[in-house]
């Protein structure tokens, strides 16, 4: 499928879009004031230890302190009995495509240690997924020892490992520790940290805190696996290495050149640690423009179009060093029309923020993000089918499963996800839907874990989350409803005022009149629909009520104020008194405009 990478770069913001057949499938946004920090390495200071949660907060110099769990804390060495395959899983989990090396350092190092065959290096970018785990690795995270089934249905049980030492025996308050950002700060939560440092190179991942050599399970040939292990072992380097899929077929010189670079990078980090005091940034990832080119510029990408002349020069230089075959695909866009408008990306970004997504069949899906999970509902909508109800539901569900996976990728939705498909009676249809969705998830590079569809039509799944979703990046909660999405209705507010009036009257026993200030819609409802009940309340409380419409007030806001002296003797004519009060309320409402 033909792909294009469109880059809109400005001094304040960079946006990178990946298109497939001109349809937006991924959007990456980075702002100058909000640089991504995933993969960065810091010297942090422990500010708070929570033994009850077996976790700690670490100051890394950011606005929000980082969070580290005891399972993410080695203190530089593996605990006794810690399983080798767990260390390998951690390195592979943390060595995602967002974890890379400084551009200048990377260029200089590869000029010195790089491959003699530059084209071989270029192909390494085609397989930088974070899920290149070893044959002894599982698709689960390091914090759960039980077996899981990923999007492809694979899973296994790890060898049991010795229990970790309690957190309070490993770190103390004000202690300096070396940490790496595993997940960006999301919402009110600070960044997730780990001390399992991983330094990804072109072909290898260096894990200084582990002493195990692993090989990607995607390298199937036993002879090649053995050869690669021996090449890495010959260096007799401290720490561990994960051999990535891109290593297959490379020469000993190419592989060990990558090893020497990573070892030198770690040595430099260690020296920085000795000369800096916490909190301090020791290693920073490259910006989104180069990072996306590194991760997404594969053989399927026909064009890379960038509208910034400076970034165009940087990309050309980067490609000349690492992606020589791809250099000709990088083009400069210099037309007056904005690049995202020209390639029709802007309206697709706007649609990706909408709650409802239409299906081609006439059905639709609805996506709701909550604090705990993302809920997705599938509906047939206008699609009524042609044969029977079961076939209509199956067709809608199958189409929706493909669109849902696309939306998860486009909107960068992660964490716990619940999909409410349309109920189907036949087990064979539910199985078909499960397999279709798992096949679609295989195309998503972000690791996911999907359970089989239940009899109620629900699918439970998780998707790895390392940064905020598109909606969280681009939107703020509604200031009018405080992000609730709903407001109390006008009748509800009117009857709330009714319940408050007796308390207000008791608080002002000597006042003859109470002034009710509220939003115009509430005042209109009280005057037009509830005037009889308001007058009855006047008689019971012995007070007069004036309504004042205040457009500047929030719909849910109101106030009751005491005005006027002691009440005058009642008029002998009830009808006349009622007419006077009604005219007063009418005048008060009209005075407000």
**Dist. CA 324–CA 329, nearest whole Å:** 10
Rg of the chain in Å (alpha carbons): 31
3-state DSSP call for residue 294? helix
pLDDT score of 463: 94
Instruction: Write out the DSSP string of 516-549.
Output: EEE-HHHHHHHHHHSHHHHHHHHHHHT-EEEEEE
**Dist. CA 92–CA 198, nearest whole Å:** 8
Average pLDDT for consecutive 10-residue bins of the chain (593 residues)? 91 93 92 80 90 88 87 54 36 36 36 30 32 34 36 40 69 88 80 87 80 83 89 85 80 82 86 86 83 78 92 88 79 94 95 93 91 91 71 90 94 93 88 92 88 86 86 89 90 94 91 93 93 91 92 94 64 42 45 44
Calculate the CA 584 to chain-centre distance. 56
Q: Is 370 exposed, middle or buried (0-12, 13-18, 19+ CB in 10 A)?
A: exposed
| Contact (Cβ atoms closer than 8 angstroms) between residue 21 and residue 300 | no
pLDDT score of 565: 60
| Angle CA 472–477–479, to nearest 5 | 155
> What H or E segment, with its residue span, contains residue 287?
none
**Dist. CA 357–CA 367, nearest whole Å:** 8
Calculate the CA 472 to chain-centre distance. 7
| Contact (Cβ atoms closer than 8 angstroms) between residue 89 and residue 127 | no
pLDDT score of 134: 36
Residue 324, both tokens: 């020589």
**Residue bearing tokens 């297959």:** 248
pLDDT score of 489: 96
**Dist. CA 318–CA 380, nearest whole Å:** 48
Residue 78, both tokens: 């593996």
**Dist. CA 84–CA 161, nearest whole Å:** 9
Residue of 540, 542, 546 whose CA lies nearest to 509: 542
Residue 511, both tokens: 């006042």
**Dist. CA 450–CA 426, nearest whole Å:** 20
Residue 583, both tokens: 């005219």
**Dist. CA 546–CA 370, nearest whole Å:** 42
What's the pTM?
Answer: 0.70
**Dist. CA 187–CA 193, nearest whole Å:** 16
| Contact (Cβ atoms closer than 8 angstroms) between residue 203 and residue 246 | yes
3-state secondary structure 53-115: CCEEEEECCCCCCEEEEHHHCCCCCCCCCCCHHHHHHHHHHHCCCCCCCCHHHHHHHHHHHCC
**Dist. CA 516–CA 531, nearest whole Å:** 13
Q: Which domains does the chain have, with CATH numbers?
A: 1-35+289-351 (3.30.420.60), 36-159+167-286 (2.40.50.140), 356-474 (no CATH), 490-591 (3.40.1260.20)
pLDDT score of 564: 67
| Contact (Cβ atoms closer than 8 angstroms) between residue 465 and residue 187 | no
| Contact (Cβ atoms closer than 8 angstroms) between residue 440 and residue 401 | yes
| Contact (Cβ atoms closer than 8 angstroms) between residue 223 and residue 100 | no
**Dist. CA 375–CA 458, nearest whole Å:** 10
pLDDT score of 74: 65
């Amino acid at each position: 499928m033909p792909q294009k990478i469109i880059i809109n770069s400005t001094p304040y913001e960079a946006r990178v879009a990946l298109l497939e057949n001109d349809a937006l499938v991924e959007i990456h946004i980075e702002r100058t004031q909000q640089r991504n920090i995933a993969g960065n390495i810091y010297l942090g200071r422990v500010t708070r230890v929570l033994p009850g949660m077996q976790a700690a907060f670490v100051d890394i110099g950011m606005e929000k302190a980082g969070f580290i769990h005891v399972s993410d804390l080695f203190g530089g060495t593996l605990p006794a009995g810690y399983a080798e395959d767990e260390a390998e899983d951690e390195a592979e989990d943390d060595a995602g495509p967002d974890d890379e090396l400084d551009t200048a350092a990377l260029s200089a190092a590869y000029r010195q240690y790089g491959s003699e065959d530059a084209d071989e290096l270029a192909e390494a970018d085609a397989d930088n997924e974070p899920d290149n785990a070893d044959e002894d690795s599982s698709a689960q995270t390091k914090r759960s020892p039980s077996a899981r089934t990923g999007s492809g249905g694979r899973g296994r049980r790890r060898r049991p490992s010795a229990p970790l030492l309690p957190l309070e025996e490993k770190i103390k308050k004000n202690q300096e520790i070396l940490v790496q950002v595993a997940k960006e700060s999301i919402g009110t939560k600070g960044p997730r940290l780990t001390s399992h440092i991983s330094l990804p190179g072109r072909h290898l991942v260096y894990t200084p805190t582990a002493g195990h050599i692993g090989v990607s399970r995607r390298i199937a040939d036993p002879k090649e696996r053995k050869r690669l292990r021996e090449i890495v072992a010959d260096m007799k380097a401290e720490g561990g290495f994960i051999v990535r899929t891109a290593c297959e077929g490379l020469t000993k010189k190419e592989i060990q050149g990558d090893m020497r670079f990573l070892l030198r990078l770690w040595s430099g980090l260690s020296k920085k640690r000795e000369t800096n005091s916490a909190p301090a940034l020791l290693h920073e990832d490259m910006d989104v423009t180069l990072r996306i080119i590194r991760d997404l510029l594969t053989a399927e990408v026909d064009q890379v179009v960038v509208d910034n002349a400076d970034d165009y020069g940087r990309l050309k230089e980067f490609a000349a060093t690492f992606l020589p075959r791809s250099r000709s695909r990088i083009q400069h866009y210099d037309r007056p029309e904005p690049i995202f408008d020209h390639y029709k990306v802007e309206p697709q970004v706007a649609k990706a923020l909408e709650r409802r997504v239409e299906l081609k069949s006439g059905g639709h899906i609805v996506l709701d993000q909550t604090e705990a999970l993302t809920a997705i509902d599938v509906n047939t909508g206008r699609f009524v089918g042609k044969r029977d109800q079961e076939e209509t539901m199956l067709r809608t569900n199958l189409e929706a499963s493909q669109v849902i996976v696309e939306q998860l990728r486009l909107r960068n939705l992660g964490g716990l996800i619940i999909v409410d498909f349309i109920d189907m009676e036949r087990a064979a249809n539910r199985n078909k839907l499960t397999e279709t969705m798992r096949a679609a998830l295989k195309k998503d590079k972000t690791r996911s874990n999907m359970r089989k569809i239940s009899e109620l039509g629900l699918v439970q799944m998780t998707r790895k989350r390392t940064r905020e979703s598109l909606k969280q990046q681009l939107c703020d909660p509604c200031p009018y409803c405080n992000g609730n999405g709903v407001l109390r209705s006008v009748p509800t507010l009117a009857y709330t005022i009714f319940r408050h009036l007796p308390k207000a009257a008791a608080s002002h026993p000597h006042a003859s009149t109470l002034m009710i200030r509220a939003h115009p819609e509430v005042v209109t409802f009280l005057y037009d629909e509830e005037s009889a009940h308001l007058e009855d309340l006047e008689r019971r409380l012995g007070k007069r009520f004036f309504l004042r419409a205040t457009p500047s007030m929030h719909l849910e806001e109101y106030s009751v104020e005491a005005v006027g002296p002691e009440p005058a003797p009642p008029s002998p004519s009830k009808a006349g008194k009622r007419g006077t009060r009604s005219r007063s309320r009418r005048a008060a409402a009209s005075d407000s405009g």
